[in-house]
Amino acid sequence: MTTISGPAYVYEIEAARQRREDRLRGEQSWFNVVGLHWLAQGTSTLGSDPANDVVLPGGPPVVGAIDVRDGTASLRATSPEATVDGEHAGRRTLVPDTEPNTTFVSVGRVRFHLIVRGGTLALRVVDLESPARRSFAGLDYFAVDQRWRLEAAVSPPFPSREAFPSVLGGEALEQVAAVVSFLVDGQRFEILALQEEGSDGLFLIFGDLTNRESTYEAGRYLYTPPVVDGRVTVDFNLALNPPCAFTHAATCSLPPARNRLPIAITAGERRYGGLLAGA
């Protein structure tokens, strides 16, 4: 594996952090995710009027209704402001985020789409004028420290499925891709790693002693480069806050007990202290 050191390494980390902040300032920002509305069987009305079952942060008082039948949600849009791909939304089945070609509905500055979590349907609502995004002034980090760039061994998991808790409560069984083990000050630690669809690298959800005071209390995330010859780079300088550190409307997975490390990893993103979306 290629090792980058000195000023070039610091530049690489700072560039990655800048890209991260640019995304949080853009339209795809988690600061724009202002609503998570679980849909019951039957009909739910939606619009900006508080009398609706799903209250949107803007747009017309009544947008229409969503009918849920046997695990399928259908939109009946009565407002001409509701569009999909620039055309009036009308009546259509909503394709959820678990399938290709997810249906994204626009209503002025408001967007919404269907998600599935634990077999339950919900609407994720986005506000492009979210106060949380407008007030975002940047993230806080530990100083870049190359000692936290670790070379780790990768081995097959046993068992291959593990219960990961969720910020919503409850747990979900996840397919574990690998066990990542590394040394810190001569002591060996392990993290169960996942692998997101379409990614060549590993996805680590971990906790450590900094969660008590200086980093997000529920844990952090870390993405690695691809595994090469049973080894992978675990660079905690690139540790990230999960989406639920920026919005109350996220559905984050959290670290299982095996991924909570009894050491302080003083690297990566620190706790975010600004305004959260969906508050």
Residue-number span of the structural domain to which 74 is assigned = 33-129
229-268 confidence digits (pLDDT tens): 999 999 999 999 999 999 999 999 999 999 999 999 999 9
Assess contact for 241 and 206: CB atoms under 8 A: no
- pLDDT tier at 52, thresholds 50, 70, 90: very high
21, 148: one domain: yes
48, 21: one domain: no
pTM summary value: 0.92
Asked if the structure places residue 187 within a domain, the reply is yes
195, 215: one domain: yes
151, 96: one domain: no
Average confidence score pLDDT of the chain: 95
Asked if the structure places residue 125 within a domain, the reply is yes
Total domains in the fold of the chain:
2
86, 210: one domain: no
Q: What is the CATH number of the domain that holds 82?
A: 2.60.200.20
Which two structure tokens, joined as six digits, stand for 90?
A: 């009308």
Asked if the structure places residue 272 within a domain, the reply is no
pLDDT score for 3? 59
113, 241: one domain: no
146-200 confidence digits (pLDDT tens): 999 999 999 998 879 999 999 988 898 999 999 999 999 999 999 999 999 889 9
144, 201: one domain: yes
Query: How large is the average pLDDT for residues 264-277?
Result: 98
252, 150: one domain: yes
